[in-house]
Structure 1
Amino acid sequence: MSAFLTGGVVLLCLSGAASIGMLLRAYLPDHHVSADSKDAIKLATAVVGTLSALALGLLIASAKTNFNDAETELRTSVARLLLLDRVMAHYGPETQQARGLLRKLVEERLYQAWGNANEATDDTAAEDLGIEPVQDTLRALSPQTDAQRSIQARALQVSGQIAEAHWLLIEARGEGLPWAFLAILVFWLGLIFFTFGLWAPVNVTVICTLLVCALSVASAVFLIVDMSHPYLGFIHVSDAPLRDALERMGRR
């Protein structure tokens, strides 16, 4: 489910809960809406409201941290890609094939993460081996001097770091906000808005205020879900570092 759709569902749930509270109020006996009843319900709702506020705050902070970490990891990977390209350039013309594979890898990363997934080519739809073809080409080299042997070892070391980061990204690709936790959070928020509607007078000002509040909370949930997937959605990590690396790669 996309972040926009999730936010819309949350908005409908909260608006519906407030509307149910307003409609139910007209059918409640008088002793159910007495001052003592209101005080007891407000105290109980305050506990749920505190839990909801803490959960929303922690989720927003966690989503922002994940987004910042993704940006940092991307820049680190780009730096390693450029370093690997320069190391192979110093080895000699024998690494021309490996450098070409590395450039193709960066192009595929750009296409897969920021391109149109529905237009994927046969190459991108195939098994994702990451930088392993580049490593195979590097291992097949036959260094003739101590300098070339040192450069080969350095290139394999850097490519190993890139491969590790790649597989970590693959493993974390399906992670996001747990839907069970989101459902419980929406239940808490719906309960709060139900009590808002239960005690609020029915007029245009109150209805508009409740709608704006529901929209604000739904926007917070949208931010949490959207930023939990830093390479997808409305708010995503910029592809500028990879494009800049692509322009620099292949130079002598």
Structure 2
Amino acid sequence: MTHVVIALIAFLCIFCSALLGLYLRGRLPEHHLSEDSTSAIKLATGLIATIAALVLGLLISSAKGTFDTVKGELVHNAASIVRLDRLLSEYGPPTQELRGTLKRDYAWWVDLLASSDAFRSARLDNPEISSRMEEFRRKLADLSPATPAQNEIQARALQISDEIYEARLRALLERQGSIAMPLLVVLVSWLAIIFGAFGLLAPRNRTIVVAFFLCALSASGAILLILEMDTPLNGVISVSLGPMREALSQLGN
């Protein structure tokens, strides 16, 4: 189920609940909407609204944290790739083939992240990603340093290649998001109750309906924003690949 569909379902639940409240207002006996009754409804609704606001804030914070983490991993990965290429260049001619492999594999990785085809998720889980890194590291470890300087460069290059591999794994593990769907269901239920109470206490006119429509649209928009930021490698709101493309342009120079 796409994020837009989830947000649309949330919007319908919230807005229809408000309309249901407006409908019930005209059908309930007068004493059900007395001053004491409305005061009790407001107190109960205020409690639910406070809880919903706290949960919504936590979800936004969690989604933003996931987005920033993946963005940082990809930027760090780009910087490490450039550092590794520079070290291989310092090593000398024996690493020329490795530098070409590094640039080719990194270009493939960037193109994979930038693609939006239906099979992208399966391609990201392809074991070929790991096998390519392991093959590169094996060739790097098979180098035969002729000087102490080359020996030191090889050790540093192996360390950086491990960091790159770990950064890729962390980015892939974070791409699915961490927000549980049952939590979103409960949050939408709370919002529906709140808007239903608003409709029950509000006069029925076009201005109120438009206001409820806009507020329900804003609430569902917040849910869409949370879902998009929680999956930073997919969707409309995704991390920028600019640093990775810039790093790619510097490889092999």
Amino acid aligned to 1:171: L
Q: Tell me the equivalent position of 2:25.
A: 25
Cα distance, 1:55 vs. partner? 1.4
Q: Tell me the equivalent position of 1:6.
A: 6
Match of residue 183, structure 1, among 182, 185, 193: 185
With normalisation by structure 1, the TM-score equals 0.93
CA 1:119/1:45 → structure 2, altered by over 3 Å: closer, same or farther? Answer: closer
Q: Tell me the equivalent position of 2:62.
A: 62
CA distance in 2: counterparts of 1:244 and 1:163, whole angstroms: 19
Q: Could you tell which deviates more after superposition, 214-223 or 102-111?
A: 102-111
CA distance in 2: counterparts of 1:118 and 1:198, whole angstroms: 44
Answer yes or no: is the 8 Å Cα contact 2:66–2:174 preserved in 1. Answer: no
**3-state SS of paired residue (1:128):** helix
Q: Tell me the equivalent position of 1:199.
A: 201
Unaligned runs of at least 5 residues, structure 2: none
Amino acid aligned to 1:60: I
Deviations 1:144-165 (A, max 9, x none): 2211111111100111111111
Amino acid aligned to 1:73: E
Q: Tell me the equivalent position of 1:100.
A: 100
Answer yes or no: is the 8 Å Cα contact 1:77–1:162 preserved in 2. Answer: yes
Q: Tell me the equivalent position of 1:80.
A: 80
CA 1:24/1:123 → structure 2, altered by over 3 Å: closer, same or farther? Answer: closer
**3-state SS of paired residue (1:41):** helix
Match of residue 138, structure 2, among 130, 136, 139: 136
Amino acid aligned to 2:238: H
Q: Tell me the equivalent position of 1:148.
A: 150
Q: Tell me the equivalent position of 1:220.
A: 222
Q: Could you tell which deviates more after superposition, 99-108 or 111-120?
A: 111-120
Deviations 1:47-105 (A, max 9, x none): 00011111112222222232222222211111100000110111112112221221122
Q: CA RMSD in A?
A: 1.9
Answer yes or no: is the 8 Å Cα contact 1:176–1:225 preserved in 2. Answer: no
CA distance in 1: counterparts of 2:73 and 2:173, whole angstroms: 14
CA distance in 2: counterparts of 1:115 and 1:145, whole angstroms: 43
Answer yes or no: is the 8 Å Cα contact 1:85–1:99 preserved in 2. Answer: yes
CA distance in 2: counterparts of 1:86 and 1:207, whole angstroms: 63
Amino acid aligned to 1:91: Y
Amino acid aligned to 1:131: M
Q: Tell me the equivalent position of 1:127.
A: 128
With normalisation by structure 2, the TM-score equals 0.92
Cα distance, 1:25 vs. partner? 2.2
Aligned length: 250
Amino acid aligned to 1:115: S
CA distance in 2: counterparts of 1:82 and 1:113, whole angstroms: 18
CA 1:214/1:123 → structure 2, altered by over 3 Å: closer, same or farther? Answer: closer
Deviations 1:117-168 (A, max 9, x none): 3476x99755321522210110111112211111111100111111111222
CA distance in 1: counterparts of 2:7 and 2:168, whole angstroms: 31
Amino acid aligned to 1:101: T
Q: Could you tell which deviates more after superposition, 173-182 or 239-248?
A: 173-182
1:173 aligns with 2:169: no
Cα distance, 1:38 vs. partner? 0.8
**3-state SS of paired residue (1:151):** helix
Identity within the alignment, %:
40
Q: Tell me the equivalent position of 1:16.
A: 16
Cα distance, 1:176 vs. partner? 3.0
CA 1:63/1:208 → structure 2, altered by over 3 Å: closer, same or farther? Answer: same
